Amino acid sequence: MENPHAERQAVLLERILKNTSKCTETILELNHCMEEIIRANAQIRIAADLSKSYRRNVQYNLEATKGDDTVPKRDS
């Protein structure tokens, strides 16, 4: 006669392995999707960095021209 406890344990272990396998597949797919998002965002990050640098340079030049008395002022 078969041991019912052993049968139940075998069924539970099989379910655990099946669920673990599905979980691993899902995590691998998620990692792949994240890599695609990171690659896609790389160009956006470059554009944002360029914009930030441009803004800093413009701000610096505006501040420099405010304090510079050699720049002729326009008559209104």
Structure confidence by residue, pLDDT tens digits, 14-59:
999 999 999 999 999 999 999 999 999 999 999 999 999 999 999 9
Q: How far apart are CA 70 and CA 76, in angstroms?
A: 18
Residue pair 32/38 in contact by the 8 Å Cβ criterion: no
Nearest CA-CA partner of 22 in 11, 14, 33, 10: 14
- Structure tokens of 61? 């030049």
Q: Is the pLDDT confidence value at 69 over 70?
A: no
- Structure tokens of 49? 């960095």
The pLDDT of residue 3 is 86
The pLDDT of residue 66 is 87
Using the structure block, give the residue that is written with the tokens 């209104």.
76
The pLDDT of residue 67 is 76
Q: Is the pLDDT confidence value at 76 over 60?
A: no
The pLDDT of residue 4 is 84
